[in-house]
């Protein structure tokens, strides 16, 4: 059957030319291909002698001889040099096939078939090169036809997929690859064949026949064309990149782990809250490392028990309750869409208890995302600490916040006892593929347990995953243990600090007092703020507010020492400036070792001693309710605020002086008369100072909050704290407020007595009359006796005029003043002495007694409790005999 040859045949590549020679040896016919080959048109060639026209001169004789032989009927094949007309040198070499022929008249003629030798050699070279590349290539090479069947395969491909190269002819990609991958490959072949666009590095996954090892190939496809340019198929070059792919995965895994550890360092331990730290750990781990996770901490650790959590080491397992103590589930996180997936007490069956090594899966390190729908959706993590997702196990559900125990033989209890990672496979039918049970160990102390789980469809845990899990758990454990230790120290410091503050609501004569103390939150360290209300003789009151610079337990201890020193100095009844001067000396010695102060004084030329410096600010004020005058001294503290009735709040102009501990500068006193009903406020900087606003704004807001002081004092204190933007938690806050209520004139008896013996009797009379006016008759006898003793001592040992004063408030105070500077001293009289027992009698019959210096001498005083209707207790015989 006749049909046209398809384009792209071998003749298209060879490009054969023809012409004929007549009986006369001249060209009769000249084909178009001859025109293309020789560059001579048919009109120019016909009638020409081919030898004379196309052959060099030195070869023409031989050429004529060959033409005569051909016209005699001899066939000939050979190489013939030729040149273009008009050129002196040959243009090329042609391979010529000459066949004798006859004309219609029976004359001899010839038909010549001519091929350019260069085209033949080029084809031969291309074929050889193609064969070498195709056959000797170290990569798999396939040639697919337009029907996408294999037309040719090289030896390397046959080595991998079996058989000889010819055995693969006619096969399709479905004969080599799984269905999904074969469909991808076939679609790529069709696209390349239709569009002509090459495909580079198409990743195909499959396995060689007879092998279960998954291989990774990189396939390059390009369309192949015939000589006419028509597509004749697709060439495919496949390279096995499994090792390279594994190396890339390992590198990606290493980078992922480093990034995860870097993220853990930045995100875990940002707070001192134990449960918040556990949630931070899970926020890092899910979904970047696993699909589900849960954290359990020892219940004793959360409740602040002093007993340490579990400890482990070597072969001695001294775990907290041998690994089965009470734990609390504090956090759960999940990136799994199916809510049936649960994290709880893993089954003991199939437990892998290798010490931190081994485990499910291969080298691991890269999280997989394949698998059945819903098994491992890692699009986002639902960090569900406290979420309603139920976390359960064979023994029952474990909800967030619940307290539970692990059975002694369970993997979790074993991990807690040994401090080693346990790998537990998922239960059959569960969507959990495997779980890593990792103890949280810090400084050889087990503080809890974390479980990392991966769902089916994710990549199994490998060696690198186990090491990463241990590192994540250890980092969180260190943060949790540090938080535990800090919390313990913080609580101790708070106990110390609060034990040094005045208990309850302090009371004072002539003052209505309200106080507030707000410590910093658990996120901040304990500060050194303190306040105090100290009862002084004569119904006077010392009001103190101070702040040790710095934070922590040392600041709290320094505050305690200063507060104790203030109380001691106050009992000596020193002037406020003297009190601060002595406190300054004490503050400078707080951070120095024993003897350092003496050494510093003896060797000032050497420079300061290497010791910790404690600085503190303090306001010390003494209020006298009889005169309603208050004396202030300030050591670098914020000024007191005074609000007189009907006036705006005023910052008292008290010279601030230098903070305690600086030394070298004297302190000044300021005496202020306080009007009845006025409000006095002492405070620390935490009330008015913040990073968000300057001090002046805080002081202005504080004064505005005191604008209506007529309300009950407790309400005023609450209003101040709720109105001011104190940023509570950044610093401690101490606030001491006092409303002035001076002693009324009828509660004071004041007399001056001449320096003569009859003043003793006069003093008794005055005291008796005043007590009767106050309806304190049960105290008359005792007061008369003690007044006689004190006035007698003033006459005998004192100087100048004598002053007697009785004060009635919550107690009765009697004071005897004179100008002598010698302080009375209580001593034990000898059995034969007739005197010397007066002060013993005063101490025996009074609730308290003492003496203090005054600007013009001294004052000796005693204090008696007011009668409560039951009468005064008489001294016993033993008490009276103790004076002899």
Which tens digits make up the pLDDT trace of 735-790? 999 999 888 889 999 999 999 989 999 999 999 999 999 999 999 999 999 999 89
Highest mean pLDDT among 122-136, 344-358, 620-634: 620-634
pLDDT band at 545 (very low <50, low <70, confident <90, very high): very high
Q: Is the per-residue pLDDT at 445 higher than 50?
A: yes
pLDDT in tens, 49-88: 888 877 778 888 888 888 888 888 888 888 877 765 555 5
Count of CB atoms situated within 10 Å of the CB of 174:
13
Cis peptide before 449, with omega less than 30 degrees from 0? no
Structure tokens that stand for 418 in this block: 């040994």
In this predicted structure, what is the pLDDT of residue 472? 92
Kindly tell me the sign of the dihedral angle through the C-alpha atoms of 349, 354, 355, 358: negative
Biggest CA-to-CA distance, the chain = 191
Q: Are the CB atoms for 352 and 359 separated by under 8 Å?
A: yes
pLDDT band at 727 (very low <50, low <70, confident <90, very high): low
| Residue 765 parent element (H or E) | helix 759-773
Q: CA-CA distances (angstroms) from residue 633 to 103, 545, 568, 670?
A: 146, 11, 17, 7
3 state SS of 810 = coil
In this predicted structure, what is the pLDDT of residue 360? 34
pTM over 0.95: no
Least confident of 414-423, 513-522, 571-580: 513-522
Distance CA 621, CA 100 (A): 143
pLDDT > 90 fraction of the chain, expressed in percent and rounded:
20
Least confident of 169-173, 376-380, 579-583: 376-380
| Residue 787 parent element (H or E) | helix 780-797
pLDDT band at 639 (very low <50, low <70, confident <90, very high): very high
**Residue 361: beta bridge partners?**
none
N- to C-terminal Cα separation, the chain: 158
In this predicted structure, what is the pLDDT of residue 875? 58
- Average pLDDT over every residue of 549-570: 82
In this predicted structure, what is the pLDDT of residue 348? 46
Structure tokens that stand for 143 in this block: 């040639």
Q: Is the per-residue pLDDT at 99 higher than 50?
A: yes
Q: Is the per-residue pLDDT at 137 higher than 60?
A: yes
Q: Which residue has the higher pLDDT, 542 or 830?
A: 542
Structure tokens that stand for 773 in this block: 């006016």
Q: Which residue has the higher pLDDT, 841 or 19?
A: 19
Q: Are the CB atoms for 765 and 787 separated by under 8 Å?
A: no
**Residue 346: beta bridge partners?**
none
Average predicted confidence (pLDDT) for the chain: 79
In this predicted structure, what is the pLDDT of residue 774? 92
Structure tokens that stand for 308 in this block: 């340490």
Q: Is the per-residue pLDDT at 329 higher than 60?
A: yes
Q: Which residue has the higher pLDDT, 870 or 20?
A: 20
Phi, psi of 584 (to 5 degrees): -60, -40
Tokens 């619940």 — which residue?
402
**Residue 530: beta bridge partners?**
546
In this predicted structure, what is the pLDDT of residue 9? 59
Q: CA-CA distances (angstroms) from residue 154 to 132, 232, 804?
A: 10, 18, 128
Return all residues near 369 (Cβ < 8 A) that are at least 6 apart: 376, 378, 457, 458
pLDDT > 70 fraction of the chain, expressed in percent and rounded:
78
Count of CB atoms situated within 10 Å of the CB of 830:
9
3 state SS of 5 = coil
| HSE toward the beta carbon, residue 396, CA cutoff 13 A | 7
Return all residues near 572 (Cβ < 8 A) that are at least 6 apart: 852
pLDDT in tens, 398-430: 888 888 888 888 888 889 888 899 988 888 878
Least confident of 161-170, 333-342, 528-537, 719-728: 333-342
- Average pLDDT over every residue of 78-99: 70
Q: Is the per-residue pLDDT at 385 higher than 70?
A: no
3 state SS of 11 = helix
pLDDT band at 725 (very low <50, low <70, confident <90, very high): confident
Q: Are the CB atoms for 861 and 847 separated by under 8 Å?
A: no
């Amino acid at each position: 059957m006749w049909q046209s040859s398809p384009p792209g045949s071998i003749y298209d590549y060879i490009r054969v030319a023809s012409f004929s020679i007549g009986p006369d040896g001249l060209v009769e016919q000249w084909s178009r291909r001859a025109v293309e080959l020789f560059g001579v048109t048919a009109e120019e060639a016909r009638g020409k002698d081919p030898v004379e026209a196309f052959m060099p001169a030195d070869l023409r004789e031989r050429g004529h001889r060959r033409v005569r032989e051909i016209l005699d009927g001899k066939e000939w094949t050979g190489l013939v040099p030729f040149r273009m007309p008009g050129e002196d040198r040959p243009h090329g070499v042609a391979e010529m096939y000459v066949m004798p022929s006859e004309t219609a008249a029976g004359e001899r003629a010839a038909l010549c078939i001519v091929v350019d030798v260069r085209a033949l050699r080029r084809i031969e070279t291309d074929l050889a090169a193609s064969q070498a590349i195709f056959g000797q290539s170290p990569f798999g090479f396939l040639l697919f036809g337009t029907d996408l069947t294999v037309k040719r395969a090289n030896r390397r491909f046959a080595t991998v997929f079996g058989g000889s190269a010819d055995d693969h002819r006619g096969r399709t990609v479905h004969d080599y690859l799984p269905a999904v991958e074969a469909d991808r490959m076939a679609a790529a072949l069709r696209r390349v064949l239709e569009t002509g666009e090459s495909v580079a590095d198409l990743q195909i996954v499959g396995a060689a026949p007879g092998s279960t090892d998954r291989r990774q190939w990189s396939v390059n496809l390009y369309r192949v064309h015939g000589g006419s340019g028509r597509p004749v198929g697709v060439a495919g070059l496949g390279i096995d990149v499994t090792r390279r792919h594994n190396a890339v995965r390992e590198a990606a895994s290493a980078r992922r782990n480093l990034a995860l550890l870097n993220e853990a360092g930045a995100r875990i331990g940002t707070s001192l809250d134990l449960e918040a730290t556990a949630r931070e750990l899970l926020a890092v781990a899910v979904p970047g490392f696993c699909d589900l996770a849960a954290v359990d901490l020892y219940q004793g650790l959360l409740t602040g028990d002093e007993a340490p959590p579990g400890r482990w080491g070597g072969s001695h397992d001294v775990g907290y309750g041998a690994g089965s103590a009470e734990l609390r589930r504090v956090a759960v996180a999940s990136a799994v869409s199916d809510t049936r997936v649960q994290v709880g007490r893993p089954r003991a069956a199939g437990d892998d208890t290798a010490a931190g090594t081994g485990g499910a899966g291969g080298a691991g390190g890269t999280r997989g995302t394949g698998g059945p729908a819903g098994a491992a959706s890692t699009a986002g993590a639902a960090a569900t600490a406290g979420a309603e997702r139920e976390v359960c196990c064979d023994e029952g559900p474990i909800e967030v916040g619940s307290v539970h125990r692990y059975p002694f033989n369970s993997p979790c209890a074993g991990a807690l006892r040994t401090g080693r990672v346990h790998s537990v496979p998922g239960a059959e039918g569960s969507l959990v593929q495997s779980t890593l049970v990792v103890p949280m160990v810090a400084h050889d102390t087990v503080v809890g347990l974390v479980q990392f789980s991966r769902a089916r469809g994710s990549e199994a845990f490998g060696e690198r995953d186990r090491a990463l899990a241990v590192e994540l758990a250890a980092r969180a454990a260190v943060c949790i243990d540090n938080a535990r230790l800090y919390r313990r120290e913080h609580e101790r410091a708070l106990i110390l600090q609060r034990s040094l503050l005045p208990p309850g609501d302090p009371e004072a004569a002539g003052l209505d007092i309200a106080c507030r103390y707000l410590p910093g939150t658990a996120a901040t360290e304990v500060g050194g703020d303190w306040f105090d209300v100290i009862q002084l003789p004569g119904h006077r009151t010392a009001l103190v507010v101070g702040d040790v610079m710095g934070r922590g337990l040392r600041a709290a201890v320094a505050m305690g020492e200063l507060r104790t020193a203030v109380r001691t100095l106050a009992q000596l009844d020193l002037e406020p400036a003297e009190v601060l001067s002595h406190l300054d000396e004490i503050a400078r010695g707080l951070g120095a070792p024993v003897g350092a102060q003496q050494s510093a004084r003896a060797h000032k030329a050497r420079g300061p001693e290497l010791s910790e410096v404690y600085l503190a600010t303090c306001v010390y004020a003494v209020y006298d309710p009889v005169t309603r005058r208050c004396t202030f001294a300030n050591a670098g503290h914020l000024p007191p605020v005074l609000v007189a009735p009907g006036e705006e709040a005023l910052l008292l102009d008290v010279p601030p002086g230098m903070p305690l501990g600086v030394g070298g500068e004297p302190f000044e006193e300021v005496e202020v008369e306080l009007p009845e009903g006025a409000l006095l406020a002492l405070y620390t900087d935490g009330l008015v100072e913040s990073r968000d606003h300057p001090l002046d704004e805080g002081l202005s807001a504080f004064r505005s909050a005191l604008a209506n002081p007529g309300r009950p004092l407790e309400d005023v204190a609450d209003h101040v704290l709720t109105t001011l933007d104190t940023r509570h938690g950044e610093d401690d806050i101490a606030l001491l407020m006092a409303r002035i209520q001076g002693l009324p004139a009828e509660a004071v008896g004041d007399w001056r007595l001449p320096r003569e013996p009859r003043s003793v009797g006069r003093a008794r009379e005055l005291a008796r009359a005043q007590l009767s006016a106050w309806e304190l008759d049960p105290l008359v006898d005792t007061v008369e006796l003690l007044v006689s003793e004190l006035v007698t001592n003033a006459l005998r040992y004192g100087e100048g005029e004598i002053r007697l004063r009785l004060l009635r408030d919550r107690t009765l105070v009697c004071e005897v003043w004179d100008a002598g500077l010698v302080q009375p001293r209580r001593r034990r009289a000898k059995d034969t002495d007739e005197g010397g027992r007066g002060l013993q009698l005063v101490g025996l019959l009074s609730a308290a007694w003492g003496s203090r210096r005054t600007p013009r001498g001294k004052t000796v005083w005693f204090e008696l409790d007011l009668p409560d209707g039951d009468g005064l207790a008489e001294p016993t015989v033993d008490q009276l005999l103790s004076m002899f």
